[in-house]
Amino acid sequence: MESLNKRRSIRKYAGRDVSEELLTRLLREAERTQTMGNLQLYSVVVTRSDEKKRQLAPAHFNQPMVTEAPVVLTICALPGYDNFLSFINAASDALLYAQTFCNLADEEGLGYCYLGTTVYMPQQIIEVLRLPRLVMPVATLTLGWPGENPPQTDRLPVEAILHGETYRDYDAALIDRFYSAKEALPENKEFVRVNDKETLAQVFTDIRYTRRDNEAMSRTFLDALRQQGFMQD
């Protein structure tokens, strides 16, 4: 799939609508993705209204593309049972569906951005979208026709993720080798400099994704799972 090799996250959109016909077709075609036992343990909430997008924005740290994109898709896990394993199965289905939809959107020339913030403050999304018990938001996509052509983000070499037969843990030497090309990129050097750090890892662990923030958002997510009926105390 050539479009996958050219994939970019699009955060700015042209002033052009995504037709209901096109969107429905892509959502229907995405249903052909693989699924747990052919149960299709997912739902998709389509948001087009400006008011509803404004209500969703705070849950996504008010990132501008939430209100500026013509369409916001919230992909939800819809399990059959009220337990954690059932949620994991449903979340896997939902994320597979989301990725297949993204691939189809690429083929049509649409732009999108995957919002990891969905699992940071799910309670707000649950309230805005009126999600009932046993429905949990796991992914959000902003969608529209691209209004920008940003550079592709860098990726680690494939050797960094491959393990032959059994898992080989990472030591400092391997990490340095796998990250050397990424660390050497001019944009990443500047990113490290402006954050007053020595390495990319320090930027991400000390500033962008701190342990304290991760622990706080983990508690929030677990609380939402309990409220939605997946975690039994």
Contact between 13 and 111 (Cβ < 8 Å) = yes
98 vs 141: CA distance, rounded Å: 8
Angstrom CA distances, 211 to 197, 208, 215, 222, stand at: 17, 10, 6, 16
Helix and strand numbers (H, E) in the chain are 10, 4
DSSP string, 113-176: EEEGGGGTSHHHHHHHHT--TT-EEEEEEEEESBS--PPPPP---GGGT--SSS-----HHHHH
Question: How many other β-carbons are positioned within 10 Å of the β-carbon of residue 78?
Answer: 22
Write the Ramachandran bin of 61: left for phi over 0, alpha for psi from -120 to 50, otherwise beta.
Answer: left
Which amino acid does the sequence have at 151?
P
- Residue 46: helix, strand or coil by DSSP? strand
183 vs 217: CA distance, rounded Å: 28
10 vs 113: CA distance, rounded Å: 5
For CA atoms 92, 94, 100, 103, give the dihedral sign: negative
- Structural element, H or E, at residue 182: helix 172-184
Residue (of 83, 128, 121, 70) closest to 228 by Cα position? 83
pLDDT tens, position by position, for the chain (233 residues)? 666 777 889 999 998 999 999 999 999 999 999 999 999 999 999 999 999 999 999 999 999 999 999 999 999 999 888 999 999 999 999 999 999 999 999 999 999 999 999 999 999 999 999 999 999 999 999 999 999 999 888 899 999 999 999 999 999 899 889 989 988 999 999 988 999 998 888 888 888 889 999 999 999 999 999 999 987 76
Residue-level pLDDT at 23: 98
How far, rounded to the nearest angstrom, does the alpha carbon of residue 168 sit from its chain's CA centroid?
27
Give this prediction's pTM. Answer: 0.92
Helices 172-184/186-194 angle, 10° precision: 100
